[in-house]
Structure 1
Amino acid sequence: MSTGTAALLRALVDDAGLFPPTALPMERAVARHRADLAAGETMHTHRFLVPASRVDELAGLLRDDEVFTLGLIADLDAEDLTGACRRALADPRLRIALVEAPLAAYGEGEAAALDALLAAVDVVPAEVPLYVEPSAQARPHPLLAELAARSGVRPLGAKLRCGGVRAELFPDTTQVAAFLHACVRTGTPFKATAGLHEAVRHTSPETGFTHHGYLNLLLATATAVSGGDQAAVRRTLEIRDPAQLARAAAATGAEEAAAVRRVLVSYGSCSTAAPLHQARLLLGAPDTPKDPA
């Protein structure tokens, strides 16, 4: 694997085993994450994504001698979110590395909702990043403007939803291209969530849903970073030829890869083994066994 390809993939995959479609029971998700921590795969971030509402459930399964690094997913109202953050911070076995939240759940209008959300997580150390999903994904610019206006409060970024359990949750390539282009233009980092089950864009034979590929997303971000317009970004998102994507990844230099990853921070995957297996097949990354759970 080239140095640039390795840099594109390093610390890319968050553990989203608790979330659909896999939705592992907490006990199995914890066991799988322990196994992944022991394996130390470089493509994993080794962050465990957990809803704020399930922090206590997670804590009840952890051993006294272990630490889980968390991506805390806000699924509570502001007051209860603050309480969950306080409990996680008080437990030495839990370390909040980042918080992700849907802006629409915290009020109407980007400015007021973002202020309410920031107040709710104010108990979390100021160096912990907050990634916010726009109220309307097709219109990311109002959120990005509000994030820029609050720079310095804490590290702030956006969140891109790439799919879900219903067809309407999958944004088309025009929407995703606009999101990527806007993030690159404004210097806003983002995380991706949902639907990125494989490396390459494909249509699921089980559901008929067309999924974005995580390699498409990386290389589309690279297209935007290198100055490509939205049409060029969209064309990269639409590539379905694995060999074409593999060649583009292999041609990515280390500096370009680092610039891409400053924008695209990571994505949550319900399977932690599948992304590694596909990277091996397409790009020559080390293989990994099936998910241990």
Structure 2
Amino acid sequence: MTSAIHAFMNQIVDYAGLFPPASLTLEPAIHNYASYLSSQDSWMIGQFILPATRLKELENYLSLFHSNFPLHCTVLGKKSEEKWAYLEVLKTDLEQIFSMTDRYGDSLKINTLELPLPAIVPDRGLLEIIRVKTGKLRLHTFCEMTLPMDDHWEQHLHEILDQIGEYHDPKGLFFGFKLRTGGVTANAFPSPFQVATALISCRDRGIPMKFTAGLHHSIRMYRDEVATQMHGFVNVFAAGMLACRHNLDVNDTAQILKDENPVHFNFTDDGLTWRDLAISVPDIERLRKTMFRSYGSCSFDEPREDLRALKIL
């Protein structure tokens, strides 16, 4: 029987070793990923995250992988501010993806594309074109909002999610939302209320989510290196799933995100509990598959070591 922690952590960490603060070169990052796939903790590792502009560099390392041990890769698209320039960049990125999978499809599997949107509320035509073009390559696509976290953030979030929701087909490819949950400076971290707003807004529209940045540790805590509280990945995923299971509002969901006491999060063979709220293993498995996919981290060691230090894993 699958335990709650195994359902919760299954392929949850997408390895982003190329990105800050680790900022590794491709050679050690790809060797790290190959070693993680061969480790006892391989069940927790998801995909390798790579910018589309660097796809061709993989050719030097694909000998590490083969049809029974493929490189599963999430590609990060390039950002552009003007609509037509954005579509030209997208066209180039998709051509690179097609070229690499056409040549190395046995050892290289690309099924997910993450796209930073222009720093505007995009028109419906742009998102429709993205959905059609990425769909032709059978890519699950997650759009990232890059607008500033100012007084208009919530309004812009709802406008963008309304559009994404129009094109997401629950029975087909994911067309979802990617939320940035941190960075290397304090002002890069959204508040618990903002994260809760995104979780509830995506839940209400049935939009799947991925997360990136700042989720190195399991439970929310203050960290000197960024001089602020960092979100915990257990907090984020538990808050999202419990909000779905119990129809929580934004304020109640934010309370789970704010919680810095690991004792309040309990994993058993039957499910996960936070205080007096519970969710079963089957519900965790279902929601991880359909709503809360994974998060990108430049470290795979920190999350699993953190879980072991707390005796969760």
Same fold, judged at TM 0.5 (above): yes
For 2:108, the equivalent position in structure 1 comes to: 94
* Matched residue type, 1:253: S
For 1:241, the equivalent position in structure 2 comes to: 261
For 1:288, the equivalent position in structure 2 comes to: none
The 1:64–1:240 alpha-carbon spacing in structure 2 relative to 1, beyond 3 Å, is: closer
> Deviation digits for residues 78-109 of structure 1, max 9, x if unmatched?
2321222222222233210211111117x762
For 1:291, the equivalent position in structure 2 comes to: none
> Deviation digits for residues 94-149 of structure 1, max 9, x if unmatched?
210211111117x7624233234335535512xx3101112436432222221222
Task: Please state whether the residue corresponding to 2:94 is helix, strand or coil.
Answer: helix
Q: Distance in 2 between matches of 1:175 and 1:12?
A: 22
For 2:86, the equivalent position in structure 1 comes to: none
Corresponding position: 1:113 with 2:126: yes
The 1:64–1:31 alpha-carbon spacing in structure 2 relative to 1, beyond 3 Å, is: closer
Corresponding position: 1:81 with 2:100: no
Task: Please state whether the residue corresponding to 2:224 is helix, strand or coil.
Answer: coil
Q: Distance in 2 between matches of 1:272 and 1:64?
A: 19
The 1:170–1:64 alpha-carbon spacing in structure 2 relative to 1, beyond 3 Å, is: closer
Equivalent pairs counted in the alignment come to 282
Task: Please state whether the residue corresponding to 2:14 is helix, strand or coil.
Answer: strand
> How many Å apart are 1:62 and its aligned residue?
2.0
Q: Is the 2:13–2:44 Cα contact (8 Å) retained in structure 1?
A: yes
For 2:19, the equivalent position in structure 1 comes to: 19
Corresponding position: 1:254 with 2:278: no
1:156-175 aligned at under 5 Å gives the runs 156-175=175-194
Q: Is the 1:5–1:252 Cα contact (8 Å) retained in structure 2?
A: no
1:1-293 aligned at under 5 Å gives the runs 3-39=3-39, 41-63=41-63, 66=66, 67-75=70-78, 77-90=89-102, 91-92=104-105, 93-104=107-118, 109-118=122-131, 120-125=133-138, 128-136=139-147, 138=154, 139-152=156-169, 154-225=173-244, 226-246=246-266, 249=272, 252-261=279-288, 262-285=290-313
The 1:280–1:69 alpha-carbon spacing in structure 2 relative to 1, beyond 3 Å, is: same
For 2:85, the equivalent position in structure 1 comes to: none
Q: Is the 2:78–2:90 Cα contact (8 Å) retained in structure 1?
A: no
Q: Distance in 2 between matches of 1:64 and 1:223?
A: 39
**What RMSD in Å do the two structures reach over aligned CA positions?**
2.4
Q: Distance in 2 between matches of 1:64 and 1:220?
A: 37
Q: Is the 1:197–1:275 Cα contact (8 Å) retained in structure 2?
A: yes
For 1:289, the equivalent position in structure 2 comes to: none
Gaps of 5+ in 2: 80-88, 148-152
The 1:64–1:3 alpha-carbon spacing in structure 2 relative to 1, beyond 3 Å, is: closer
TM-score (norm 2): 0.82
